[in-house]
Chains A and B, each alone.
Chain A
Amino acid sequence: MPFRVRSKTSILLAGLVLMATGCVAESEPTVVVDEVADSSQASEDVAVVSGSDDYVILYSGRAESLVQPLIDVFTERTGIEIDIRYSGTSELAAQVLEEGEQSPAAVFLSQDAGALGALSDAGLLASLPDSITSRVDPDYTSRDDSWVGVTGRARVIAYDSETVALEDLPTDVDEIVAPQWSGKIAVAPANASFQSFVTAYRVIRGESAADQWVSGLVMSDPQKYDKNSAILEAVEAGEVSLGLINHYYWYRMASERGGDQMRAQLYFLPAGDPAAIVNVTGAAILQAQSSDLDATALVEFLVSDEAQEYFVTTTFEYPLVPGIGAPEGLPELSELAVGDFDLSDLRSIATTQELLRNYGLIF
C-alpha cells in the first residue's frame, strides 16, 4: 500500500523544521539571561554579608517607556546593571506574593500605594534606610518605612469639552452624583486610585456620608471601566461627559495626540475636596535582598533631585522631594493637600472595598 508524501504535508513539515532551526538561534538571548540569573543567585550568598555585585533585578509596574530612560541614566552613572521585569502593578504584586522569599526581585516599583501595602502586610518588604525615607515629604510616603513615595498624581475630573461647559462642572464631590450626570460619568472602581479617593471621602466626611455618596453613584448609573486610561479614551470619544482619573493619564495622551486637539480636558476640584487627593507611586526593597547595596542605591536614585526632575518633565507627575517645583500649569502639591487625610489612612482600604462590594461596584 504505497502512499506518496503529499506536497502540503511536506511544506508543513519543512516550515516546522525551518522554524525549529530558527528558534535554536533565537534561544541564545535566553541562555544569556539564565547566566545572569545564576550570577544573581550567587549574589545572594555574598549578600548575606551585605554587598554589591553591580546587578539588580527590578520589578516595574510602571511602563517601560517611562522607566527605562531613567534607569539607563542610573546604569551609566553607577555601572550597576539593572534587569527590569515590566508588568501590571497588581499582576506583579500577585507574582511577588506567590514567589515569597524566593523572589528574584530586589526592588519593586509600583503604580500605587495599595500594592506596596499588600506586600508590606505579607512581610516581604525591608525597612528602608533614613538616607531614602528622609528625602520625601512624610505626607506622601509610608509610615513604617517599608516603601517610599516616588511621585504623586492628583485625582482630577476629565470632561468632554464639546458637550460640557466649564461653568457647569461640579464644584464639589457630591455634585458628581447629581441627577444631571446620570449615565454620563465614568469610574474605575477596581482601580487603587479610585479606592483611595473613596477612602479619603470616608476619612474626611465620615462613614455614613461616604455610604450615601457611593449609593448615589450607583443610582446614577456610572459607566464602569477597568482602568483610568480606558476612562480617558471614553471621555475623548464623547462616550461619557465626566471621568474620574489621575491627572497624569491626560498628559500622557496629550503627548501623543496634542493637548489642544483633545476633546477631553482636565478640571481640578477645589482644594480640600476628597475627590482632589494625591495618589503616589512608590518603590520598595524586598526583604530577601535587603542587604543588597545596589538595590539601596537604585531606590536612593529614584528620590534624587535628578530623577524627581525627570518625572516632572517627562511624566508630568508631582515630585515628592521638597524643593522641586510641580509640573508647569498644575496647582502646587500643597494646594491639593487634603486636611486631615494622609496616606496612612489608606490602611483602611479594606473597609472601602467592603463598601464598594456592598453596592456591587467591585467584586
Chain B
Amino acid sequence: MSIPLVYVVWRAVDVPLSDITAVLMRPRVQELTLNTLGLSLAVALTALVMGVVIAALLSRVRFRGASSLLLISALPLAVPSYLASYGWLVAFPGLNGFLPSWLLLTAVTVPYVTLPVAAALRGTSAEGEAVARTLGLGPLRAFVDVTWPQVRPAAVAGALLVFLYTLSDFGLVAMLRFETLTWGIQQSFAASFDRSQAAILALLLVVIALVVVAAERSARGQVVTSRAKLATREPVGPLSRTLALLVVLAPPLVGVVAPLAGLAARLFQAETLRDIDLSRLGLATAATIGVSVLAALVALAIALPLAALAARYSGRWVGALETLGYLPHALPGIVVGLSLVFFSLAVLPPLYQTATILVFAYAVLFMPKALGTARSSIEGVSPDLVNVARTLGARPLNAWARVTLPLALPGLGIGALLVAIATMKELPATLLLRPTGVNTLATELWSRTSAGEFAGAAPYAAILVLVAAIPAMILSGVRRTAKEEL
C-alpha cells in the first residue's frame, strides 16, 4: 500500500541533496506549491460548507421529491473532472485559472461531503434541535450547537477526501491551465523525461497530505451517538424553498448538466459521424465494471482492518498506520502507476500488465475513500453491543463478525461504491498498467479525444457517466449505519 511512497522516496534519494534544494528553491516550485495549497484548501472548505448546508437542507426542509433530490445531488460524482472541464470549455473556451478550477472542482466533489453528512443526519435526532429552539436559539444556531457535533466526523472525513482529490487531480487543472504541482510533475515527464524532479514534486504533495491528514485527525472529533428518531422536516415559505432548491441543485447543474450540454453541442458540430462500434463499447463497459467491482472489493479488504483498528484504538501506531493509508491518495495517477510498473517488474514480473496489478493499483489509489466511511461506521456501532455478545460467550473475532460487521455494512458499502466510481473514471494509472489491448471506458474516451475525434468520444463519455451514475445513485440511498433500526 505504501509502494508509491517508497518509490517516490527511492527516486528522490537518487538526487544529490544540493539538487533537491535547488529544485525546491526555484520560484516556480514555490508558485506551484502555493497554487496547489490554495486550490485544495479552497475546494475542500467550499465543499465542506456547501455539502453540510445541502445535506441539512435536504433533511430538514420539506421539498417535493426530497429523495430524488438527494439522488440528483450525488450525480456529480459520476462525472470525471476532465470531462466536466472539457464540457465547460466547449461553451466558454476562455475559462482558465483559479476561479473556474475552484468552482468546477467544488461542484464535482461536493457529494463526498453531502452524502455522508446526509446519511449521518438521518441517523441523528432532530429532537435536540427542537429543544434548543424552545430554549430560544435560532434555527442556524440550534443546528450548529446541537447537530453539527454529531455530523462533524462524517463532514470532516468527506472534506479530507475532497482535499486529497484536488491535490492529486491533473485532468481538470491541465485543461483549465491552472498550474499546480501535478501539472509540474506531468511537465517533468513530458518536457525532460526527468523522473527525479517528478519524484521531488510528488514528495511535496506527500508532505502537504501528511499535514492535512494529521489536521483532520484532530478536527474530526468523537462520534456522538444519540437515540435517533426521524427528523421532522420544517415547512418553509416558497421563496426560501426556491432559494434552498437552487443551492441544492447548484453542484449538479455546474458539474453534470452544463458539461454534458457542452459535449452534446460538440457532437452536433461534427460533420462526419463515425459509426459507433457497439461491440467495442460493450467490451469497454464490461471491462470498466469488472475492474471497478474488483477494485472496490480489494480496497475494502485493505481498508477494513485499518478502519477497525482506527475506530477502536487511538494509539500512536494506529494513527500512523491510518495516516500512511491516506497518503497514496495525494499522488497523481501517473506516479502511482509508474511506482507499480517499477514494483511489479522488480517483484512479480509475470503479473506486469495484467488485471491483477491494475486492480491492485486502483485499490492503492482509492482505498482512502473507503477508509473514512468504514472507520466512522465501525465507530458508530456501540461497544456495548459487542460487549453483550462477548458476555454471551462469543470470541472477539466472532463477536466482531456477527455484531460489528453487519451493523457497519452500509457504511462499508458506501466506501466500496466510492472506490468503484473513482476506478471507473481513472485514466493515467490505467494507461500505464492495463493489459495491452484491453480498454476501459476512460481509455477509450482518452484515445478518441487525444486524436481530436470528439464526436467519436461522445458515446464513451455518455456511457461512462451513466455507468458511474449507478453506484452514485445507490450511494445516495445507503444509510451510514444500521443503528437507527435498533
Binding site for B on A (CB under 8 A): 1, 3-4, 6, 8-9, 11-13, 15-16, 19-20, 22-23, 25-27, 29-30, 33-34, 37, 41, 57, 63-66, 83-88, 90-91, 93-95, 97-100, 102, 104, 114-115, 118, 189-191, 195, 223-226, 229-230, 233-234, 237-239, 249, 252-253, 255-258, 261, 350, 353, 357, 360, 362-363
A62 to chain B, nearest CB (A): 9
> B349 near A1 (CB under 8 angstroms)?
no
B297 within 8 A of A: yes
Contact of B479 among A8, A84, A95, A195 (CB under 8 A): A8
Contact of B352 among A104, A252, A261 (CB under 8 A): A104
> B338 near A94 (CB under 8 angstroms)?
yes
- Given A15-B474, A363-B184, residue A90 in contact with residue B193 (CB < 8 A): yes
Nearest B residue to A233, CB-CB: B93
> A33 near B435 (CB under 8 angstroms)?
yes
Contact with A along B263-290 (1 / 0, CB 8 A): 0000001111000000000010011011
B211 within 8 A of A: no
Binding site for A on B (CB under 8 A): 27-28, 32, 89, 93-94, 174-175, 177, 183-184, 186-193, 195, 269-272, 283, 286-287, 289-294, 296-297, 334, 338, 341-342, 345, 349-350, 352-355, 385, 406-407, 409-410, 413, 416-417, 428, 431-432, 435-438, 443, 447-448, 450-456, 470, 474, 477-479, 482, 485-486
> B345 near A26 (CB under 8 angstroms)?
no
Pairs A–B under 8 Å by Cβ, sample size 19:
A1-B486, A9-B478, A16-B297, A19-B289, A26-B286, A63-B447, A63-B450, A85-B437, A91-B334, A94-B189, A98-B345, A102-B352, A189-B191, A226-B174, A233-B89, A256-B452, A360-B28, A363-B183, A363-B187
Nearest B residue to A93, CB-CB: B193
Which residues of B have CB within 8 Å of A33? 354, 435-438
A44 to chain B, nearest CB (A): 11
B87 to chain A, nearest CB (A): 13
> A90 near B438 (CB under 8 angstroms)?
no
> A84 near B436 (CB under 8 angstroms)?
yes
B175 to chain A, nearest CB (A): 8
> A363 near B193 (CB under 8 angstroms)?
no
> B453 near A94 (CB under 8 angstroms)?
no
**Bound CA–CA A26/B292 (angstroms):** 12
> B191 near A104 (CB under 8 angstroms)?
no
Nearest B residue to A57, CB-CB: B436
> A95 near B93 (CB under 8 angstroms)?
no
> A29 near B438 (CB under 8 angstroms)?
yes
A250 to chain B, nearest CB (A): 10
- Given A30-B435, A63-B447, A97-B195, residue A9 in contact with residue B409 (CB < 8 A): yes
Point out which of A29, A230, A234 has the most chain B C-beta atoms below 10 A from its C-beta. A29
Contact of A257 among B271, B292, B355 (CB under 8 A): B271
**Bound CA–CA A102/B296 (angstroms):** 30
> A256 near B438 (CB under 8 angstroms)?
no
Say whether chain A's binding surface is mostly helix, strand, loop, or mixed: helix
Which residues of A have CB within 8 Å of B272? 255-256
Contact of A6 among B28, B293, B485 (CB under 8 A): B485
B284 to chain A, nearest CB (A): 11
**Bound CA–CA A84/B448 (angstroms):** 16
Which residues of A have CB within 8 Å of B174? 226
B240 to chain A, nearest CB (A): 30
Nearest B residue to A41, CB-CB: B350
Which residues of B have CB within 8 Å of A261? 271
- Given A20-B293, A91-B334, residue A258 in contact with residue B271 (CB < 8 A): yes
Which residues of B have CB within 8 Å of A16? 293, 296-297, 413, 416
A185 to chain B, nearest CB (A): 15
Which residues of A have CB within 8 Å of B195? 94, 97-98
> A195 near B191 (CB under 8 angstroms)?
yes
> B190 near A30 (CB under 8 angstroms)?
no
Which residues of B have CB within 8 Å of A190? 187, 190-191
Contact of A22 among B289, B350, B410, B482 (CB under 8 A): B289
Point out which of A12, A97, A249, A363 has the most chain B C-beta atoms below 10 A from its C-beta. A363
Which residues of A have CB within 8 Å of B186? 226
**Bound CA–CA A233/B86 (angstroms):** 11
**Bound CA–CA A88/B486 (angstroms):** 54
**Bound CA–CA A11/B385 (angstroms):** 26
> B184 near A23 (CB under 8 angstroms)?
no
B462 to chain A, nearest CB (A): 18
A242 to chain B, nearest CB (A): 15
Known A22-B289, A257-B269; 6 more pairs at CB < 8 Å: A3-B406, A3-B407, A23-B289, A84-B437, A190-B187, A256-B452
Which residues of A have CB within 8 Å of B183? 226, 363
Contact of B436 among A1, A83, A252 (CB under 8 A): A83
Which residues of B have CB within 8 Å of A224? 177
> A12 near B447 (CB under 8 angstroms)?
no
**Bound CA–CA A255/B192 (angstroms):** 32
The 9 A-B pairs at the shortest CB distance, nearest first, are namely: A23-B290, A63-B451, A237-B93, A26-B290, A90-B190, A118-B193, A19-B293, A33-B435, A363-B187
**Bound CA–CA A1/B483 (angstroms):** 12
Point out which of B190, B409, B438, B478 has the most chain A C-beta atoms below 10 A from its C-beta. B190
B97 to chain A, nearest CB (A): 11
A321 to chain B, nearest CB (A): 24
Which residues of B have CB within 8 Å of A189? 191
Which residues of A have CB within 8 Å of B89? 233
> A8 near B432 (CB under 8 angstroms)?
no
Which residues of B have CB within 8 Å of A83? 436-437
> A91 near B432 (CB under 8 angstroms)?
yes
**Bound CA–CA A249/B394 (angstroms):** 69
> A234 near B453 (CB under 8 angstroms)?
no
Contact of A256 among B175, B271, B474 (CB under 8 A): B271
**Bound CA–CA A224/B177 (angstroms):** 8
- Given A94-B338, A95-B432, residue A66 in contact with residue B188 (CB < 8 A): no
**Bound CA–CA A104/B477 (angstroms):** 45
Which residues of B have CB within 8 Å of A104? 352-353, 436
> A257 near B437 (CB under 8 angstroms)?
no
Contact of B428 among A13, A91, A362 (CB under 8 A): A91
> A22 near B290 (CB under 8 angstroms)?
yes
Which residues of B have CB within 8 Å of A114? 193
> A66 near B451 (CB under 8 angstroms)?
yes
Which residues of B have CB within 8 Å of A11? 474
Which residues of B have CB within 8 Å of A350? 192
> A88 near B450 (CB under 8 angstroms)?
yes
Which residues of B have CB within 8 Å of A57? 436
